[in-house]
A and B are shown apart, each in its own frame.
Chain A
Amino acid sequence: MAKPHRSTALVSRPLLAVGLLGFLVLCLAPLLLMAERLAGDPSVITDLVGGRTLLLLLWTVLLGLGAASIALAIGLPFGFLVSRTDVLGARLLRALGIVPILLPPIMLAMTWTMLLPLRGPVMCALILGVSSFPLVALFAARAAERIDARREEAALLTGGLGSVLAMELPLILPSALGGSLLAFVVAINDFALPDYVSSVGRKFNVYAGEVFSTWQVDGNEARAVATALPLLALTAAVVLPLLRARARSGGVTIDSTFQHPRTLKLGRWRAPATLFCLAVVTVGALLPIGRLAYESGGGSRVFSGVSIRRDGWTQGGGAAQNMGATPAPTLTGAGITDAVSAAQAAARAASGGAPASSPSPGISPGISPARAAAPQGRQRSVDPAAPEVEAALKASATDDLSDFGGGLPAFASNVASAFARALDLSRESLLWSLLFAFGAATLATPLALILGHAIARGRRGVTLEFLTILPLAAPGTLFGIGSIVLWNHDATGSFYDSGGLVVVLFAGRFLAVATLICAGAVRSFDRRLEESAELAGAGPARRLFGILTPGIWTSLAGSWIAVFALSVRELDAAVLVPAANDTAMFRVFNAVHFGRDDFVSALSLLVVFAILLPGLLWTLFSRRRLRFLP
C-alpha cells in the first residue's frame, strides 16, 4: 500500500511555533532540567546496578503484566459486547464502563481491600487491572466498530456468531493489546496505590515508589532521575512500537464505501453476556461508589448495631482495621505524607533556594510554614495539608460515636452530616480542584489541537508524537520534581506558590493525552477538506479553526474532558508541589490515612462527582458521542 502523502503545507509555522513553545515550557522543560542534573553527576547511574534495583524492577514489571493481563481479560470482551451486541442496556453499560479509569485507583482499593482478603502485589495488580480495563475496552470497541458490515456478514453466513468472533478476534486483538500496553504503563508508574495497599497489608515496594523515596532521602535530583531511568526506558519500549503501529494503520479500515456493522444478536448468550457486563461495571464502578456511599452513612455500625469502637485517627487504613485486618507494621501509609514535607523542603533547598515557602493566601492555605521549612529526611507529621481540617476532624471524631445502630433513618442522617462535614471542611479544596482542572484543560486543548494537527499532517509526525508522550511516560513524581526545580526560584517565587503552577503542572502532565486524541481525530478527518479551503485562499489559522475544528469538535471536547478528569484525580505529581497540596484528591489521600471513614467516603464521592461532572453534563445536553480515543 502506498504511504499516505504528507505535506507540511497544511501546517502553519507560526501556530506550530506557538504549540512547540507551549510544549517546551509545560512539558519538556521540567524533564530536560532533570536530565541536565543527571548529566552533571553521571556517577549516580552506577548506584542503580544492584540486586535491590533489579528486584524492584522485577516486581514492578510483574505488577504491570498482571494488571495488563487482567485489563485485557476484562476489557476485550466487555468492549466488544457493549459496542457490538444486543446486551441489555448496552449504551448505559458502555458509559458506566468508562468510570473505573476516571476513578482514582485508591478509591477502588478502599473498597476491595475491605471485601477481599488479598493483599500485596496481587491485590495491587487486581485493582490496577480493574481500574484500567476501560483502556482496553475503548480500543477494542473502536476496532470492533470499524469492521465493515459486509465482512462480518460474510463470516456470519459461513458459521454464525462463532465464525464472526473467530474472524474478528485477530482484527480486534491488536487494538486491545495496545490498550493493555497502556494499562501496563499506567500500572508501572503508579505509586500511590501500592503505598495504600501496603498500608493495609504487608509492605511491598514498587519502582515508582523508589523514585519518590530517593528524592525524599537526600533531595538529589540526579539520583532521582537516574532512579527513574529504567521506568522511562520500560515505558518508551512499550509506547514506541505502539505509536509506530498506529501510524501505519491509522484509519485505513474506514473508507468511503465503509458500512457500519449491525448489532449482533447473541440469542441464548444474551443473558450471560449482560450479566458479565453488569458484573464488570459493578466491580469497577458501582461497588466502589456504592461502598463510599455506604461508608459515608456510617456503614456497618449503623445497620448491624454492633458497636465497633474505633479510633477516628487510624494510621495505615481505618477501613482495614474495621474489618479486622492487620494494620501495617510500619507507618507506610503515612510515609508518603511524611515524605511530602521532607521532599518539598528538599526541593526548596536543592533548587536554588528560593523562598521558604510562604504560600500565597487563598491558593495553598493548607501548607504550614513548619512543613515548608522541614529539614531533609523523615519527619513525622500529621496531615500536613490541613492542620485546621485535622483539628476539626479530631473534634468530630468522637461526636458521632453514638450513631451505632439506627438503620436507614440514622444512615440517611449520617450521609447528610458526612457530606455537610466534607463540604464544610473541603469546600475550598474542591473549588480549587475544579479551577485547576478547568485551567489545565483549557490551556492544554488548543495546544493539543495545534500539535495534533502537526503530528497528523507534518513530516516528522511520529517523532513529534513520541516527544509529546514523554511527560506521560515519565513517572509523575519525576515530573513533579522537575516542575519544582524549574519554577522554584526567586524570580518565579510568587508563581511557584500560586495556583498558576498547578494549572501548568497538570496541563503539562496531561497535554500528551489531549494531543494523542487530537492527532487521532485529525488523521480521520479528510485532508481534502483542508486542501480545498487552502485552494480557496483560506490561511492556516482559518483552516485550522474554521474547517478542522468544527469537524473534530467531539474529539476536542473529549480531550478537554479527559484532561479535566485526569487533573482532578492527579496525585503522583501533585503530592510534591506545595501549591497542589490543596486539591481535593490530595486531601482524600491524607484523609485515607488519617481521617474517619465517613468523612473520607463523603469527600471521595464529591471528588468522583467532580471528575464525572463534565461527562455527565455532556451526556445530558449533547446527543453526540464524545471521542476519547487517539
Chain B
Amino acid sequence: MSPHQQHAIAIRGLTVQAGATRILGPVDLDVQEGEHVLLVGPSGSGKSTLLRAIAGLEDPAAGEIMLFDRSASRAGSRSTPPQERGVGLLFQGGALWPHMTVLQTLLFVLKRRGLTGAPAKQRAEELLELVDLTGINGQKAPTLSGGEAQRLSLARALASEPRILLLDEPLGPLDAPRRAALLDRLAELEGQLGLTTLHVTHDPGEAERVATRTVEIGDDGTLSAVAT
C-alpha cells in the first residue's frame, strides 16, 4: 500500500445473523482506495449480505465495518445511516422504481442531494451520457431492456456521488456483448471518478480483466485470495 492510499473498506470480524441463524462471517477484508475487488463464492455463502452490510442495510451481530478509516457499523452501537456512507449499490436485477421515467429516477436522487431545477436536469443528462443512455428520458423503467435497466441503475448509483461502488451481480441479465460493453464502461468510470469497487459475481471469468484482485468467500464465510 502506498503512503497516500488508505483503506476504503476495512472489515474486522463481521458476522451477520438472521434471527439465530448466522448468514455471514466472521469476515475480515481490506479494500484499498481505487481497487476493483471481485468477490466470488457459492450461492448462499453471503456475498450479497456482505455488500448489504457495507451499505448499511444489514446490522452486524459482531465485528466492525470501517469506511475510509471511520467506523460505519459496529455491533451493538449506532451505525452510520446508509445514505451518509458515500456508498452506491447496484442491485441485482436493477431494482428500478417502476412508476418513474428514466429522467425522473435520476432527478429523484439528485433532489435528495439538494439539486433541483435546471442544474438537476443538466446533471441528469450528464449522468445518462456517462452510462450511454441517451434519448430515452421519458421511458418508464419497466419498458427498458435488461442492458438499459442496468445502465440506468448504474447512473442512479452514481448520481449520489459515491466513493465506493458496490455491484451485486450487475451482469446477470445481460448477453455476452452487452456484458463486455458494460464492463468497459465501468472500468472507464472508475478511473474517471476515482471509485473503489467491490463486485459480487458468480462467474469470476467475466470480470477478471477489470479487477485488481479476486477474493473468494467460502461456505464457512471465510475469505481467501484467489490467484489471477
Contacts and interface: CB of A to CB of B under 8 A. Distances in A.
Contact of B95 (A148, A159, A160, A166): A148
B92 A150 contact: yes
> Chain A binding site: helix, strand, loop or mixed by DSSP?
helix
A304 B32 CA distance: 75
B92 A159 contact: no
A154 B99 contact: no
B64 to A, nearest CB: 20
B102 interface: no
A160 B97 contact: no
B65 to A, nearest CB: 15
A609 to B, nearest CB: 37
Contacts of A160: 81-83
Nearest to A149: B95
Nearest to A160: B83
A160 B159 CA distance: 15
Interface residues of A, number: 20
A150 B93 contact: yes
Contact of B89 (A157, A166, A167): A157
A158, A166, A253 interface centre (most CB from chain B within 10 Å): A158
Contact of B112 (A148, A151, A163): A163
A150 B97 contact: no
Contact of B87 (A148, A157, A162, A166): A157
A155 B89 contact: no
Interface string B82-98: 11000111011101111
Interface size, B (range): 20 to 34
Nearest to A151: B95
A171 interface: yes
A153 interface: yes
Interface in A184-200: none
A150 B160 contact: no
A620 to B, nearest CB: 25
B109 interface: yes
B189 interface: no
Contact of A154 (B81, B113, B156): B156
Given A150-B92, A154-B89, A171 B108 contact: no
Interface in B71-87: 81-83, 87
Interface string A405-416: 000000000000
Contact of B99 (A150, A162, A171): A171
A156 interface: yes
B108 A157 contact: no
A167 B97 contact: yes
B4 to A, nearest CB: 28
Contact of B142 (A1, A153, A157, A167): A1
Nearest to B166: A157
A170 interface: yes
Given A1-B142, A151-B97, A167-B97, A158 B109 contact: yes
Contact of A170 (B88, B99, B113, B159): B99
B13 to A, nearest CB: 24
Contacts of A151: 95-98
Contacts of A253: 98
A157 B90 CA distance: 11
Given A156-B82, A160-B81, A257 B112 contact: no
Contacts of B160: 157-158
B136 interface: no
A253 B99 CA distance: 11
A155 B97 CA distance: 9
A154 B112 contact: no
Given A150-B92, A150-B95, A257-B93, A167 B108 contact: yes
Contacts of B109: 158-159
A154 to B, nearest CB: 5
Contacts of B98: 151, 171, 253
Given A158-B108, A163-B112, A153 B97 contact: no
Interface string A161-183: 01100110011000000000000
B38 interface: no
Given A158-B108, A170-B99, A153 B83 contact: no
Nearest to B142: A1
Nearest to A166: B108
Contacts of A167: 97, 108
16 contacts: A150-B91, A151-B95, A151-B96, A151-B97, A157-B56, A157-B89, A157-B160, A158-B112, A158-B156, A159-B109, A159-B112, A160-B83, A163-B83, A163-B108, A171-B98, A253-B98
Interface of B: 52, 55-57, 81-83, 87-89, 91-93, 95-99, 108-109, 112-113, 142, 156, 159-160
Counting from the closest, the 4 A-B pairs by CB-CB distance are A159-B112, A150-B95, A150-B91, A160-B83
